Amino acid sequence: MSEPILKATGIEKHFTAKRDFFGRPQTFLRAVDGVSLTVNEGETLGLVGESGCGKSTLGRCVLRLHDLTAGKVEFDGQDISKMSVAELRPLRRKMQFIFQDPYSSLNPRQTVFATIAEAIRVHGLLGNASREEEKERVADLLSRVGLRPEHMNRYPHEFSGGQRQRIGIARALAVEPKFIVADEPISALDVSVQAQIVNLMLDLQQDLGLSYLFIAHDLSVVEYVSDRVAVMYLGRVVELANASSIYDDSQHPYTQALLSAIPDPDPRRKKKRLVLQGDVPSPLDPPSGCTFHPRCPIAEKGRCDREAPPLREITPGHHVACHLV
Amino acid sequence: MDPRAWRRFKKNKGALFGAVLVIFVTLLGALGPLVAPHDPNEQSRDVLLRDDGTPLGPTWDRAEGEPAEGHLLGGDTVGRDELSRLLHGGRVSMQVAYFATAIAVFLGLFVGVSSGYFGGAYDFAVMRLVDVVLSIPFLLIAITIQRVVDTPALWALFVLLGFLSWTTLARVTRSKTLQVRELEYVQAARALGMSEARVLLRHVLPNVLGPAIVIGTTLVAQMIIVESAMSYLGLGVQPPNASWGSMLREGQEMMGSANRLMVFPAVLIVMTVFGFNLMGEGLRDAFDPKD
């Protein structure tokens, strides 16, 4: 855990929500509003937050599946934020994406073999390999993710959700990446299958030295997989720290509220539940100052609703964006 | 090509029946003129018209002593051999069905998929073009062309029909493309660094083809019918030459006294339309692995 493989600085992504009569953008949705983070080699950075807080958009931005509105992304020492599609192509090998919905992430008209072999061929990873060699490689990848080689001739609809997610992982691994963004890879799966996929991802990380940006809205899963955790609220990171500090020593009131919402399997234990008031404000019209202040239990009038708090390092490695800690 | 698609197609009885019909009418169009027993435009009034001027019926429906050996289906209102006219007319109808539809399907798919996929100003411009083409009155164009050119070539008809019929298909494939391009497997293809052309051809196009095939087969039917209206206006097949569409229209005038003149071409047109529809739906299902 030394060199950062991914370094994102001041990322902003705005979507046009409304255009005027002449097609000029009028209203913007600030999906990601100035986020900086790094992922070190071999590390898993967990990214949590409510639905709509911009975590998926951020994940797509760092892989340049979206163009950035502002900010800079360095991958493996190279600035990729301004690269053209053609310049990005060789780098795509090194960074891959695992999708949330295993049902729409596989082309229904391609067999498993066609899906995975296409990824290999696009990057010419096997040169002029024969079909037999390709099959061997695909079989290899399938067994790596816990599927059987004979599955390669089937179509996606013949598999369960968990199996499909494994195929998606095999497709990402086919190009031998170093860094993978996993966008809620388990939230569409049954609970029993969730653990299998998470453990598969951890095994792969160990064997292949992968780095993950692991996006989820479930803190308990993130705690299990992550080295560090970033908590997002309305397009901004409000707290960033080692996984253990987030869980044992969270500082931001939003993080504390999220943690108190984790269900406890022991019914006899009484827990204090911090229930937030109101809904997430619309990112079309975010609140002034600290965007969390309308729901914050400790917000101070005159300060929190005026000034946006910067992300400060309060103890080494522990960053919080709050005036009051 | 997936061998399983062919196996699924073979298992589908309706699709096979449709394919047989399509092959039958296609062969009629290709070989009909070669096997026609008589000149389709020659009027044999003394043989094929009765004394009162009504046409002779088919061999199984003739009065005692009525001759006309070799005229299997009898004659039409002016004493031309009905069978020969049907065999010759098939060629025009099948040409229209294939070529005009091919033009329309190609244009519609190209415009629909590209504008849905690339979006932006191009999409806007192209969709306004669709509105313009949809607003053009078919008849106006036909009459104008007929006025300007004395005897328009038959290919002009295919091109005209093709260029005026791609719009529905373009709209439907565009909206389907809009839906497919947001799916995660398309994003996965991009994340893997595939070229836009590859994403479009391998991941988007195959998944929007279903509705295009179905619309394409219904277009075949429309084309055959519209061709007959066009020939009435002087575009396309001119009298005395025959097409199934024009024979159907002429036959309507004899409804009640000689129904068969309407029924024969109508049956052939229905066979064509039905065949293409069944086959089209069969193809759509065969290429969908989920079926």
Q: In DSSP terms, which residues pair with B81 in a beta bridge? A: B75
Q: Structural domain boundaries of chain B?
A: 3-286
Question: Is A105–B207 a contact, with Cβ atoms under 8 angstroms apart?
Answer: no
Quick one: A290 and A143 in the same domain? Answer: no
Query: Closest Cα partner for A201 from A226, A230, A228, A220?
Result: A226
User: Which residues are CB-neighbours of A143 under 8 A, at least 6 positions away?
Assistant: A149
Quick one: A136 and A60 in the same domain? Answer: no
What confidence tens digit (pLDDT) does each residue in A19-30 have?
Answer: 877 778 888 888
Residue A98 to residues A173, A183, A192, B105: CA-CA distances in angstroms? Answer: 10, 6, 19, 36
Quick one: A314 and A216 in the same domain? Answer: yes
Q: What is the mean pLDDT of residues A101-114?
A: 91
Quick one: A193 and A296 in the same domain? Answer: yes
What confidence tens digit (pLDDT) does each residue in B191-203 have?
Answer: 999 988 999 999 9
Quick one: A63 and A203 in the same domain? Answer: yes
Model confidence at A2, pLDDT cuts 50, 70, 90, reads: low
CA distance A211 to chain B (A): 17
Q: Indicate whether A101 belongs to any domain.
A: no
Q: What is the mean pLDDT of residues A26-47?
A: 90
CA distance B177 to chain A (A): 14
Q: Could you say which of A176, A198, A219 is where a domain stops?
A: A176
A98, A104, A141, A167: best mutation site toward chain B, by most B Cβ within 10 Å? A104
Residue B89 to residues A270, B92, B239, B265: CA-CA distances in angstroms? Answer: 87, 6, 11, 9
Q: Indicate whether A102 belongs to any domain.
A: no
User: Which residues are CB-neighbours of A40 under 8 A, at least 6 positions away?
Assistant: A1, A2, A3, A4, A5, A211
Q: What is the mean pLDDT of residues B168-173?
A: 94
**Quick check: B187 pLDDT over 60?**
yes
What confidence tens digit (pLDDT) does each residue in A177-221 have?
Answer: 999 999 999 888 888 889 999 999 999 999 999 999 999 988 888
> Half-sphere exposure of residue A69, counting CA atoms within 13 Å on the CB side?
15
What confidence tens digit (pLDDT) does each residue in B111-156 have?
Answer: 999 999 998 899 999 999 999 999 988 778 877 877 787 776 778 8
Distance CA B150, CA B1 (A): 47
Quick one: A85 and A204 in the same domain? Answer: yes
Quick one: A221 and A301 in the same domain? Answer: yes
Whether this prediction's pTM lies above 0.90 is answered by no
**Quick check: A1 pLDDT over 50?**
no
CATH code of B3-286, in short, is 1.10.3720.10
**Quick check: A123 pLDDT over 80?**
yes
Model confidence at B211, pLDDT cuts 50, 70, 90, reads: confident
Q: What is the mean pLDDT of residues B94-117?
A: 92
Question: Is B184–A101 a contact, with Cβ atoms under 8 angstroms apart?
Answer: yes
Model confidence at B96, pLDDT cuts 50, 70, 90, reads: confident
Q: Could you say which of A126, A153, A176 is where a domain stops?
A: A176
B122, B185, B290: best mutation site toward chain A, by most A Cβ within 10 Å? B185
Residue A87 to residues A1, A64, A84, A302: CA-CA distances in angstroms? Answer: 28, 12, 5, 48
User: Which residues are CB-neighbours of A190 under 8 A, at least 6 positions away?
Assistant: A161, A162
According to DSSP H, which parts of A64-111 are helical? 85-92
- Which amino acid, residue B84? S
Q: Could you say which of A139, A159, A176 is where a domain stops?
A: A176
Name every chain A residue with its beta carbon within 8 A of the beta carbon of B192.
92, 96, 118-119, 122-123, 171, 175
Quick one: A225 and A315 in the same domain? Answer: yes
User: Which residue range is the domain that position A53 belongs to?
Assistant: 4-94+177-320
Chain A interface includes B207 (CB < 8 A): yes
Question: Is B194–A123 a contact, with Cβ atoms under 8 angstroms apart?
Answer: no
CATH number of the domain where residue A291 is located = 3.40.50.300
Q: What is the mean pLDDT of residues A108-125?
A: 91
A107, A153, A158: best mutation site toward chain B, by most B Cβ within 10 Å? A107
Q: What does the mean pLDDT of chain B come to?
A: 84
Name every chain A residue with its beta carbon within 8 A of the beta carbon of B184.
99-101, 104-105
DSSP B56: P
Q: What are the phi and psi torsion angles at A231 (to 5°)? A: -105, 125
Question: How many distinct structural domains can be found in chain A?
Answer: 2
Q: Indicate whether A113 belongs to any domain.
A: yes
Q: Are A259 and A58 in contact (CB under 8 A)?
A: no
Name every chain B residue with its beta carbon within 8 A of the beta carbon of A188.
none
pLDDT of residue B2: 65
Question: Is B190–A155 a contact, with Cβ atoms under 8 angstroms apart?
Answer: no
Q: Do strands A236-242 and A318-320 pair parallel, antiparallel, or not at all (unpaired)?
A: antiparallel
Interface contacts (A, B; CB < 8 Å): 67
Query: Closest Cα partner for A287 from A26, A33, A25, A8?
Result: A33
